[in-house]
Amino acid sequence: MRVIIRKTYDEISAEAAMLIRARMLRKKNFVLGLATGSSPLGLYRELIRLHRQEGLSFKNVITFNLDEYYGIGPGHPQSYRYFMNENLFNHIDIKKSATHVPDGLAKDFEKFCRGYENAIKKAGGIDLQVLGIGSDGHIGFNEPGSAFTSRTRLIALDEQTIADNARFFSKKEDVPRFAISMGVGTILEARELILIANGTKKADIIARTLEGPVTSLISATAIHFHPRVTVFLDEDAASKLQRVGYYRFAEESEKAIGKEIF
């Protein structure tokens, strides 16, 4: 696992975007897994800039989003399809037919989830999956206790998640109680993972994720089972890590040999 720490959120967003750019340029039909929430917004702004100013094309990119609220449609301003359109898809040259976000109105959610898994396989699997992290350590909507072998499914949201997301709705009662989410096992099948976190509010859970015991009560700790993970942190999010000195030293050593070391 690589841990990249920079002073500001803008710096980690730019570096994460450059990593994605490098991977996209290596493979013609790149399959990119995406996340929503505040953490990847800077990354998406930087990808838009790379497209507009440096000609980075997304014409051959296929995307799969981690999750979607269950019970609201794509036109709802708090749906994750709406979020992705507004914050990325509408501003780059990607084919909308190549973008996949779970259907929050699927009547047969079990059938839909099986189909979503099959669509990922049909695309050749996810080359790189972008992750944020919830205050309780969830990735996607894999709430505490989610099995590390879990697949795309309907999940009952935790009270903490509902409270955290209430600020986006008129009132707490409007927050959906369920979501469709890729499972932890689905996420771990991506060929590469990047996790982005910023701010002091994420410092505790980042320390527990990177340096605490691996446990299904913090689904993000499953990244320890993946062979190719890069974690991007600003100094605030990294402020409670005990091994900051090692992470910085490892990065300097990596630069010295000119090769990424996971």
Active site residues: 67, 136, 138, 143
Please state, in angstroms and rounded to a whole number, the distance separating the CA atoms of residues 105 and 63: 20
Please state, in angstroms and rounded to a whole number, the distance separating the CA atoms of residues 67 and 235: 28
104-110, long-range: CB within 8 Å, 24+ apart, which pairs?
A: 104/68, 104/69, 104/70, 104/71, 104/72, 104/73, 104/74, 104/76, 104/79, 104/80, 104/176, 104/180, 105/71, 105/72, 105/73, 106/70, 106/180, 109/70, 109/154, 109/180, 110/154
